[in-house]
Every structure is written in C-alpha cells, then in structure tokens.
C-alpha cells in the first residue's frame, strides 16, 4: 500500500485480504503500525516529523520487522499475497521494498490511495481518532488535532507514484476509484485483484439476504429441483415487504432486487417487486448449488444410494463435488462476478438459496471455508448486512411464519432437523 | 474512440463490437472514414491539414453524417452500444459529441488510444498502407509517406484527454494497455467493457481448439456424462502432440494447455502435457453444456421422452435451456472469464467439448447466435486460430483417426449422422 494517513489504506487492505481468502488464495496483511506500536504505543505527531531522527529510526525498524516477517511468511507458510499496510510514501522506501521482494523472488504490486476530497479525509480522521489504538484514552478532539499534524508531517516528504516509477506494476486509486491508473499489470491474479479494487466504493449502504420462502421440495425434504413455494412460503413472500421495512431502509434509498432464475426465488420476490416498484434482476449465477445425480433426492435417499459420497461430503463439504454437480468451491467461482457487482452497487436485496447465501455471507463476514457450508440459515429470515470500516454488521429479522428446517448436522441424514438451541 | 491515426482505434472498435455481440449486446461501429470516402475516396495528406478549410468542412460533414446515423440507429434499431470510430482529436469535437449524445439521452464513454512506441506505430502504418481503401492502387512507399504526413497534420491540433475533461467517463489505453487510466466509470456495462479493453494485447499468438478424443459415451450416442476415452479417442490423445507440431508452433513459443474438469478432456491432453512439459490448467468453466435431465441420454431417447423440449431446442437452440441444465446463452456467460483470460494470454491450446468449443469459436470468428450452435466441429480435428488486425485466421488439421460423428442436423435424432459433403 502507498498513501498518506487517512486515505483508507487499511480498509482497502482488509477488503482485499477478505476477497482473496474467499476465492481461496492465502493472503495476509502486515500492518507496520502494529509493529511500531510494540515500542511506541502512543506516539504524538512529533514522532512522525521527518526531522525527528529517533522517530525515523523507530519507524524504519518497524518497517523492517514487518517486511522480514512478511518474507518469512512467504517462505515458511507458502503465502501467495502479502499486503504491506503502511504509508510507503517515498520513492526510496518503495525502491527498497521492490528490491527486497525481487531478491526474494516476490512480485510487487503497489496500490496507492490518493485522496484530495476533504469530506472523505475528514470522515477517515474521525474514524481513526475514535478507533486507533494510538489514541486510546485520549480526548477525541485532541486526538483529531494530533492526527491532522501527523498527516502534515507525512505530507512534507510524500512522493506520489509517478513517471520515474514506470517500471513498477502499480495501481493508483484516486478519490475512491473515481479515477484509476493501472500500470504494467502482467499476471492473472493482479488483473483480478485490480479489477476488484477498481470496483470498490465507500458510500453507506446495506445488503439484505434472504432464502426463498419454504418450497414444495422443502416440505418433503428433497434437495435441488425447481418447485413452487408451499402455502407457508407464499405467506413469507407476502410478508417480505413489511419485513424489509422493519429492518430499516434509509430514506429515499433505491433498492435493487436480485433473484436466481429458479421459480422459488422469483415467487418469493414477486410481491416485494410489485409493492415497491424496485428494479428486479434474475441471475443464473444465483441458482442453487447443482447437486447433480442427487438432485430431487432426500438426504436419506442420498445416504442410502450414495453412502460413500454422503460420507465424503461430510468429511470436506466445501470441496465435495456432487457427481455431475457442483461443490461449494465451484459456487464461489461462479459467484465472483456477483461479488464484483455487489461491490459496485449500493442497496441490494438478494433472494437466493441456502448454499449460495452461505457463500455470499462468508465473503462479507470472512467465514472460513470449513465453516461456511455448515452455517445455519433458517427459512423465513431476512439478514441485513451493513459494511463498516472494520467489518460487516449483521442483523437478522424473523418473519413469524413457521417453516421446516433444512439444516442438516454433520453425520446425520434427518429430513427436518431442529436447529441447535440458542439459534435465534 | 479518440486518438491519432495508426493508434489501433479500428482494431479496438472491431474487437469491442465482437465481444459485445458475443455477450448478446447489440453493438455497431460507425466509422467516420467510411462516410468521408463517399465524397473524398482518395484524399492526400493535405486534405487533413487543419489550415485546409475545404478539407475541414468535408471532414466535419462526414462526422455529422456518422453521428446522425448513429443516433438514428439508437432510436430506430434499439441499439445499446455504438462505437464512433474516428480520431475525435480535439476537446471541441469531444464536447460536441458529448452534448449531442446527452441531448439524445445517450451516455458517452471516451476510449483514447495513446501510443508513443515507434515500433507499434510503424507496424500500424505498414498495415494501413497495404489495406486502407484510401490508398488503393498507390505505390506502398508513397502511401506510407503520405500517411505519415496525414498523422503529422492531425498532431498539429491533437489534444489528449486531460484534467479539463474530468467530468467525462473515459479510459485511456497507453501503449496497448501497458498503462490504463480509467475515469468516472459508473455502470456495469462500462465496467465490463473497460475490463475487457484493459486486457487486450497485440502480441502475435495462436489459439488452438480441440474437442476431447472420442469417448465411450460418443460411441453409444449418449450426451453429457463423464466417461473415459474410447480406444480411438486414446489414439487421438497420443497423436495430439504431433498434430500440434504439424500445425506450426512459433520458435520458442510457450504454450499453455487448458482443459475442462471432465475426464475425457484431461485424458486427451495427458500425453501432450507429458511430452512437452507445457503448463496445464483445468477450468470448470470449460465443462460441457449441462444437459440437465437429458444427461446420459441419446438424442433418440430425448426425442422420445421429451418431444416438446426436443422441438423447442431445434427451434431456438441458442436460447433453449435443458430442464435443470444450461443453454448456449448460459455457457457464454460462464465462458466470459475464459475469454478475458484468453485475451490476456499468448499461445493457448484448449481441449474442451463440442458446445463450449462452438461458443469460443463464435467469439473469435464473430459467428451469429443462430448459427454457432449448429456449427460442425468433428472429433479428432485440431483448429488453429490466429488473430490478425482485421479478423481471425483459421486452419484445421485432421488426425487420421476415425471417430463417430456427433453432429446432428436440425429436425433429426440420428445417433451418428454423417457430416454434409464438402466438410473438410
């Protein structure tokens, strides 16, 4: 990362790491501030003055410690993408990083966040003064003033990436991607990552997730298929507009409705679309995980007819691919364009299926691959996700309409299993 | 489009149109030169001198005629993306285009191709002097000299897109996307299109396409499944390295092998990978069109069990979606990342399946949607595609190993139908 303080570097680092983890690429953030805090937990602005020799020495030592840990991580843990979250604000510093990585056989991609929009900077400063461990226990106004002085100290020596650094692979995100400059991208992974970064925005918004209402197949415990809603599922479809309202819609918010191409999600969103006039989109990529030869069977039938497959799926549910069908890993791959479009979009309500919802949820909540396929997503429940600077907030709203449970614990084949106690 | 002559504008226009057509978006190129040639078929460089009032008048008239046809196309033919292929090299001209489109309710995306790499420019000049209708019948050396003078005349007034035009949505491709500047992209389509453009390169290369060798399912006329190669299919797999060599491999070329995740393509590429040491990648997106409930049936059985579906598929094969399966349209959507990666890549040999191969072929050869699903792709045949400035060259190499035919003419359900006479 490259950029002055309060330019969203940590936010971008965190999102990039979450995205990479989600597509299965081992990634880790190395935050130089964390290393610096080991020796200097509460520095004031003077510590960052380029004329302060001792401060500079301490900051350089922190950078070296972070880079050295990073190289060790690449070597010992087979890391793929390390994100060095720091200002790296001079050409000399970037050359040092570039050379050090090159000598270790590691490619460098500089991601510079440039921002001259006062509103965004002020918003970030407010964020920092209340959340940074550097300012714990300090009067927020004093913290904000000190942080502004810190930024000024960085500005004294800051050099943006320019013509002299043409030989580097880099991307400059200017005012949260309203302008993007991309230089010398060579490989597939960088190209995907840069495309992801150029889609990011920081406008406040929420994303709502719902499964379809209870379907005829749910009643009989069959998986897959393309059945209609049950009467209770239809009641959920009718209740959805009020449930969405209850969850809190920002004033004048424009919401877009996304469904899969299967009848049960389209039927579930039908009344919501009719009552609100919201724009509606059907995505094939939101269709349920394809269960191949097991489509339209119950778990009991699968356990009986394909006992080995059933056991293999329990063993590694994320990677298990149904014969002639898909794995969770496959679903994540086809959901990637959905995630890209979600990042570009503002308010969206997605009505989709259990496995697909788990995958989308895992992206936003950073759920590991061995947990996401077992996550409990009851029917007739609306989830509201609101991205914040350091994570995603989640709220759940239950419609008061009974439905069968479609959750199955590891090692069982129950048709309608109760959710464990404690689940809302 | 924006840029001096010989900066690849027409090449980019043509590729963008082909890409858009392939993903189903009605697009058309309006080339101002074509309009200008109606009155001035063979202008010399002096015609383009900004001091030449008559020349300027004629060129302005051509631009106006093109824009007026373009607006009519939007209105009357429901066009989605029009590409105005011209130099549009001054701010005044761009403002006029922007305002004219805005008044008609049309968004503008300026795509500027900037190039100061002498080698690329010379290559483009050579291309023009031999192919441009402006220079038909002229001595190539005289044509090249005149064209250089024409460029000089444009340079006198050329204004690159800069800070003054920040309010426009634009992308600048600098030296064939070694640097890309993206500004104010707002909608999904622009974002996809810009991602496509930033992946383009012009290095010479070829793409080889092959179906898997004859499979056990092919022998019995069954579709889908995940069967092994037949003995003749295995013979094709063994013959593939020599067949590839016979097709002509550029010296020291690095070739990458792509297969689907199904056994028959992996087995087909096995010997090629082992003998050459080429890197191998398996893509789920290259798996055969999913035939849903019809998987593992013969065409006869499908015609018998699902007569209405069989007829519907013949009626509109591109859009017909197998029950619980996919249509050609669905396959194109999941192949989009493959096309993006193909554009980024150099030499690639793809071993895949009939329907998938048809879709990839349709992209490169600009085959319309009503034709591509009926295209004949015999087994045991290697196709070599070589992109050129104005289209894609195609060669076919047949291995001398018999195989069943899997082609089916409209309205028939023959298990092994002969290809029509005349097919190589």
Domain membership of residue B403 (yes or no) is no
B198/A182 CB distance under 8 A:
yes
Is B51 within the bounds of a domain? yes
Residues 6+ apart with CB under 8 A from B324: A224, A225, A226, A295, B290, B292, B293
**β-strand partners of A384:** A208, A395
Domain identity same for A189 and A297: no
Cα–Cα–Cα angle for A361, A363, A365, rounded to 5 degrees: 65
Q: Indicate whether B424 belongs to any domain.
A: no
Range of lowest pLDDT (A240-244, A412-416, B272-276, B322-326)? A412-416
pLDDT on residue A187: 86
Q: Measured between CB atoms, does A180 come within 8 Å of chain B?
A: yes
Looking at the fold, whether A109 and A213 belong to one and the same domain comes out as no
**Residues A382-405, buried b or exposed e (16+ Cβ, 10 A)?**
bbbbbbeeeebeeeebebebebbb
Mark yes or no for CB contact B181/A184 under 8 Å. no
Contact B290 A295 (CB under 8 A): no
Instruction: Specify the higher pLDDT residue, B6 or A83.
Output: A83
- Flag whether pLDDT at B421 surpasses 60: no
Helix axes B328-344, A328-344, angle to 10 degrees: 80
Binding site for substrate: residue ranges of A?
211-218, 264
- Establish whether B247 is an annotated binding residue: no
Q: Enter the DSSP assignment of A223.
A: -
Q: What is the pLDDT of residue B418?
A: 67
CA A423 to chain B, closest CA, distance in angstroms equals: 33
Which of B199, B217, B239 finishes a domain? B199
Q: Is A133 inside any structural domain?
A: yes
Encode pLDDT of B147-188 as tens digits. 999 999 999 999 999 989 999 999 999 998 899 999 999 888
**Chain A closest CA to B359's CA: distance in Å?**
18
- Please check whether residues B191 and B220 belong to one and the same domain: no
Q: Which of B212, B234, B353, B380 is catalytic?
A: B212
Residues A45 and A174 placed together within one structural domain of the fold: yes
Question: CA A152 to CA A46: how far, in whole Å?
Answer: 10
In this complex, the residue of A183, A284, A341 whose CB is nearest that of residue B330 is: A284
Residue A286 domain-assigned (yes or no): yes
How many whole angstroms separate alpha carbon A280 and alpha carbon A301? 36
Size of interface A-B (CB pairs under 8 A): 59
Q: Are residues A87 and A223 in the same domain?
A: no
Instruction: Quote the minimal CA–CA distance from A258 to chain B in Å.
Output: 15
Work out the average pLDDT over B47-59: 95
Cα–Cα–Cα angle for B348, B352, B358, nearest 5°?
95
pLDDT of residue B424: 35
- DSSP secondary structure of A276-314: H--EEEE-GGGSPPP-GGGTT-BHHHHHHH-HHHHHHHH
CA–CA gap between residue A271 and residue A241 (Å, rounded): 7
Q: Are residues B357 and B385 in the same domain?
A: yes
Q: Which chain B residues contact residue A178 at CB under 8 A? A: 183-184
Q: What is the pLDDT of residues B347-369, one digit of tens each?
A: 999 999 999 999 999 999 999 99
A371 lies in some domain: yes
As a whole number of angstroms, the distance between CA B316 and CA B305 comes to: 19
Q: For residue B420, what pLDDT is reported?
A: 61
Nearest CA in chain A to B340: A188
Does B162 share its domain with B250?
A: no
Domain that holds residue A260: 207-398
CA distance linking residue B138 with residue B186, whole number of Å = 46
Same domain, B182 and B218: no
The reply to whether A366 and A225 lie within a common domain is yes
CATH assignment of the domain containing B381 = 3.40.50.1240
- pLDDT-derived band at B423, boundaries 50, 70, 90: very low
Please state, in angstroms and rounded to a whole number, the distance separating the CA atoms of residues A149 and B41: 66
pLDDT at B36: 95
Top-confidence residue, B121 or A288: A288
State the average pLDDT over residues B117-133.
83
Our answer to whether residue B234 is catalytic in this structure is no
pTM of the full predicted structure?
Answer: 0.88
- Asked whether A256 and A207 are in contact (CB, 8 A), the reply is no
End of a domain among A199, A228, A251? A199
Same domain, B152 and B289: no
Quick check: B198 contacting A, CB < 8 Å? yes
Give every residue of chain A whose pLDDT is below 70, as ranges: 414-415, 418-424
| Active site (annotated) includes residue B279 | no
**Of A166, A199, A232, which residue sits at a domain end?**
A199
Q: Is residue A417 part of a domain?
A: no
CATH of residue A48's domain is: 3.40.50.300
Task: List the binding residues of A.
Answer: 211-218, 264
Mutate to test the interface with A, among B168, B180, B193, B337 (most CBs of A within 10 A): B180
Closest residue of chain A to B224, computed from CA coordinates: A324
Burial track B374-408 (b if 16+ CB lie within 10 A, e otherwise)? ebebbbbbbbbbbbeeeebeeeebebebebbbbbb
> Is A358 among the domain residues?
yes
pLDDT at A248: 94
B178 contacts chain A (CB < 8 A): yes
The number of folded domains in chain A is: 2
Task: Please indicate, yes or no, whether residues B141 and B224 belong to a single structural domain of this protein.
Answer: no
Q: Do B268 and B361 belong together in one domain?
A: yes
ipTM above 0.90, yes or no: no
């Amino acid at each position: 990362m490259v950029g002055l303080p309060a330019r969203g570097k940590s936010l971008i680092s965190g999102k990039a790491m979450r995205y990479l983890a989600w597509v299965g690429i081992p990634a880790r953030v190395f935050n130089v501030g964390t290393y610096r805090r080991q020796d200097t937990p509460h520095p004031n602005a003077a510590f960052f003055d380029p004329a302060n020799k001792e401060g500079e020495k301490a900051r350089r030592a922190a950078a070296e410690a972070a880079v050295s840990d990073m190289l060790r991580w690449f070597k010992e843990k087979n890391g793929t993408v390390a994100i060095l979250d720091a200002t790296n604000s001079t050409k000399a510093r970037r050359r040092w990083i570039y050379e050090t990585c090159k000598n270790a056989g590691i490619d460098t991609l500089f991601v510079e966040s440039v921002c001259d929009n006062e509103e965004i900077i002020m918003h970030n400063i407010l964020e920092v003064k209340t959340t940074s461990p550097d300012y714990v226990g300090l009067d927020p106004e004093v913290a904000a003033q000190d942080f502004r002085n810190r930024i000024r100290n960085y500005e004294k020596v800051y050099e943006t990436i320019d013509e002299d650094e043409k030989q580097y692979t880099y991307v400059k995100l200017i005012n949260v991607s309203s302008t993007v400059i991309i230089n010398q991208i060579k490989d597939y992974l960088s190209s995907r990552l840069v495309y992801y970064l150029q889609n990011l925005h920081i406008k406040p918004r929420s994303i709502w997730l719902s499964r379809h209402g209870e379907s005829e197949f749910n009643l009989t415990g069959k998986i897959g298929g393309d059945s209609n809603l049950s009467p209770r599922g239809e009641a959920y479809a009718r209740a959805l507009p009020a449930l969405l309202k209850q969850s809190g819609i920002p004033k004048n918010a424009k919401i877009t409705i996304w469904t899969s191409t299967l009848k049960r999600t389209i039927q579930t969103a039908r009344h919501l679309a009719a009552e609100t006039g919201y724009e509606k989109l059907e995505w094939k990529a939101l269709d349920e995980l394809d269960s191949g030869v097991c489509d339209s069977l119950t778990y009991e039938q699968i356990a009986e007819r394909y006992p080995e497959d059933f056991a293999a799926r329990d063993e590694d549910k994320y990677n298990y691919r149904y014969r002639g069908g898909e794995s969770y890993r496959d679903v994540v791959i086809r959901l990637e364009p959905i995630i890209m479009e979600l990042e570009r979009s503002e308010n969206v309500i997605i009505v989709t299926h259990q496995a697909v919802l788990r995958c989308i949820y895992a992206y936003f909540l950073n759920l590991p691959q061995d947990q996401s396929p077992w996550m409990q997503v009851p029917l007739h429940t609306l989830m509201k996700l609101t991205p914040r600077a350091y994570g995603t907030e989640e709220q759940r709203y239950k419609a008061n309409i009974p439905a069968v449970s479609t959750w199955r614990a590891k090692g069982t084949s129950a048709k309608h299993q109760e959710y464990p106690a404690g689940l809302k």
